[in-house]
Amino acid sequence: MKPIEEITNQTSQEQENISSEKNASLRVNLSSKENRVINSFENATPFDWEDWAWQLRNSIKDKETLSQIVNLTEDEIAGIDKSGQKLTMSIPPYFSSLIDPNDPNCPIRRQCIPLRQELIRSDHELEDPCGEDSHSPVYGLVHRYPDRVLFLVSEMCAMYCRHCTRSRMVAKGKRKLKASSYEAAYEYIRSNKKIRDVLISGGDPLILSDHILEEIIKNIRAIPHVEFIRIGTRMPVTLPQRITAEFVAMLKKYGPIWMSIHFNHPKEITKRVKFACELLADNGIPLGSQTVLLKGINDKPYIMKKLMQELLKIRVRPYYIYQCDPIAGSSHFRTPLSVGINIIDKLRGHTTGYAVPKYVVDLPGGGGKVPIEPNGIIRQEKGCYTIKNFAGQEYDHHDPV
């Protein structure tokens, strides 16, 4: 893979050639699943498939189009008809190509096609489970922890995850935030000198054009006390074509910028995703993953282990597994805490330490993230701790006398 400066130092004609070569090499490997989906779009070319704007324009938003690709169940049809009004459905053709058309339990499918069950609201479920709105000093900014803020720059995503914590914000899939509405956020960050870390998120920030994103990053980078900029995104997974050489070159100008990518299942790690992550990593963007624990999707230790190991192979460091937040209509996605604890227990010591993320609960009402650990300490008595290792054997550890 060429470092980006080699690309950006070239003429636009040379850049075009590189892009075409890159696209051509991907097209040669266009999977049969991708071919099946592209064939359902009239006049679509392989060049269109590589173009993230084409993918967005042609995102699947209705059951008629989707039913050409997937054999929909009654629960899904009811979900599209009804819960789609609550949280819109939008699936880029690329992501739809990962769906098993005949398996209603396909982990990709469960994340993007609404189900009737989304309409069932259970006890303790909330519209804003993490209490973000009550910690928002200005529109689009969440300030919960002393030295960092969450900057929500977009109310749109490439694909609307059915388990989305911010479904209250992205529900309609329409852009409401204007560039002018960022001003109050910049001013708040400028006037709070304790803020050294800004997480740019949304919605998905990568849905914005390179130009708008650059303006945002430039404004934040210009604030002297901001040391650390992160971008939270799912687009390298749902639409990896978004990670273009031009986008990466722009990010590199304002580095270091870290990226947290939302991955939920090993099936999401395709050759395109690998290519996107390699382009980012080769050009100095440190990558971490965030995963939501989802019933029937990734709630088995062997699936999580596979996901974490595959992430390391594409240079993404597993960072968090989140307990699924109790958003309204999420009971079909949520697991007991014991499931997450057991997964960590089955990872720790059983695979590379880098492949073991933290399991965290974002406390309802705005309490913040708290790591939940399997309990290693069995007994504690007069400075002696009895501790269980990964194999379940007990050892004594003595405090200094």
In the complex, which residues of this chain contact ligand SF4 (CB under 6 A)?
157, 160-161, 164, 166, 170, 202-204, 234, 262
Q: How far is the CB of 207 from ligand SF4 (least distance, A)?
A: 9
Tokens of 394: 């007990």
- Catalytic: 166? yes
Measured at the alpha carbon of residue 14, what is the angle toward residues 12 and 15, in degrees to the nearest 5?
A: 60
The catalytic position among 157, 230, 322, 324 is 157
Q: How far is the CB of 155 from ligand SF4 (least distance, A)?
A: 9
Tokens of 256: 């270091």
Nearer to ligand SF4, 97 or 154 (CB): 154
The catalytic position among 130, 161, 277, 324 is 161
Nearer to ligand SF4, 22 or 332 (CB): 332
d(CA 218, CA 93): 32
- Catalytic: 299? no
C-alpha distances in angstroms, 42 versus 27, 37, 45, 96? 18, 11, 9, 16
Cis peptide before 256 (omega within 30 of 0): yes
Nearest to 219 by CA among 178, 185, 257: 185
Nearer to ligand SF4, 59 or 223 (CB): 59
Are 202 and 153 in contact by the 8 Å Cβ rule? The answer is yes
Nearer to ligand SF4, 202 or 318 (CB): 202
**3 state DSSP class of 75:** helix
Q: How far is the CB of 197 from ligand SF4 (least distance, A)?
A: 20
Nearer to ligand SF4, 324 or 343 (CB): 324
Nearer to ligand SF4, 161 or 251 (CB): 161
Q: How far is the CB of 50 from ligand SF4 (least distance, A)?
A: 21
**3 state DSSP class of 299:** coil
d(CA 236, CA 277): 7
- Catalytic: 277? no
Nearer to ligand SF4, 239 or 344 (CB): 239
- Catalytic: 399? no
The phi and psi torsions of 165 (rounded to 5 degrees) equal -65, -30
- Catalytic: 164? yes
Nearest to 174 by CA among 88, 96, 60, 95: 88
Residues in contact with 345: Cβ distance below 8 Å, sequence separation at least 6, in sequence order: 374
The catalytic position among 62, 103, 145, 395 is 145
The catalytic position among 148, 300, 315, 358 is 148
- Catalytic: 325? yes
Nearest to 53 by CA among 244, 263, 279: 244
C-alpha distances in angstroms, 65 versus 30, 53, 86? 21, 19, 20
Nearer to ligand SF4, 22 or 340 (CB): 340
Q: Which residue has the tokens 């939270």?
A: 232
Q: How far is the CB of 158 from ligand SF4 (least distance, A)?
A: 7
Q: Which residue has the tokens 């997450």?
A: 340
The catalytic position among 22, 110, 166, 272 is 166
- Catalytic: 362? yes
The catalytic position among 27, 168, 221, 369 is 369
In the chain, the N- to C-terminal Cα span, in Å, equals: 56
Quickly count helices (H) and strands (E) in the chain. 17, 12
Q: How far is the CB of 371 from ligand SF4 (least distance, A)?
A: 21
Q: How far is the CB of 325 from ligand SF4 (least distance, A)?
A: 10
Q: Which residue has the tokens 């599209």?
A: 80
d(CA 125, CA 233): 25
- Catalytic: 116? no
Q: How far is the CB of 352 from ligand SF4 (least distance, A)?
A: 27
User: Which active-site residues does the annotation give?
Assistant: 144-145, 148, 157, 161, 164, 166, 325, 362, 369
